[in-house]
Structure 1
Amino acid sequence: MAGGAIPHFQNDAGHKLIEIGVKEFMCVGAAAPFDHPHVYLDMGADDEKVCPYCSTLFRYDPTLSADETRPAGSVYRDEAA
């Protein structure tokens, strides 16, 4: 994702699948203190990627924007930023 910030996603609700509008992103697990190392994931030519830490399945949906998820509420926002 050259030229822009990498979106971060979290899974506080424990969803098995989160649809996102980007193919390069960071997974943080759940919100602190229940997060895992913030891991960079790249789907490449695929449309799905499983986080190796929390096993969340992320699926690319081109109809979603970079700051939108389905189900809603999985975009991570750093409170310090």
Structure 2
Amino acid sequence: MAEIRTPHYHNSGGYPAIRVGAREFMCIGAAPPYDHPHIFLDMGGDNEIVCSYCSTLYRYSSELPSGSADPIDCVWAADAAHAL
């Protein structure tokens, strides 16, 4: 299986905002199989962005490791059952 290099985040927990350690990432909405189309979001020089599908507010945090999130359960990792 190909390695995912772009972080993927979801908001299955319905959090009002998610802090992320990346300015460029994919939002998948909720965890599969309840996901929306996986869309690429790029904050550019901004520190926050809203997903146009699910309205999740993402806030960049330089304190988080690249690809991480707070809450941590918002990071989605592909496995054999959920390959992209």
TM-score by length of 2: 0.86
Other-structure match for 1:6: 6
Counterpart residue number, 2:64: 64
Deviation, structure 1 residue 71 = 1.7
In structure 2, the residue matched to 1:29 is 29
Q: Give 1:53's aligned residue.
A: 53
**Residue type of the alignment partner of 2:45:** A
TM-score, normalization: structure 1?
A: 0.89
Q: Tell me, which stretches of 5 or more residues in structure 1 are unaligned?
A: none
Give the fraction of aligned pairs with identical amino acids, expressed as a percent. 49
- CA shift, 1:77, in A, is 0.8
Give 1:66 deviation, angstroms. Answer: 2.0
CA distance in structure 2 between the partners assigned to 1:66 and 1:29 by the alignment: 20
Unpaired runs of at least 5, structure 2: none
Partner SS state of residue 26, structure 1: strand
| Alpha-carbon RMSD | 1.4
Q: Report which of the two has the higher share of strand.
A: 1
Match of 1:76 in 2: 76
Runs of 4+ in 1 over 6 A off after TM superposition: none
Question: Structure 1 residue 68: deviation in Å?
Answer: 1.8
Aligned partners of 1:33 and 1:63: how far apart in 2? 31
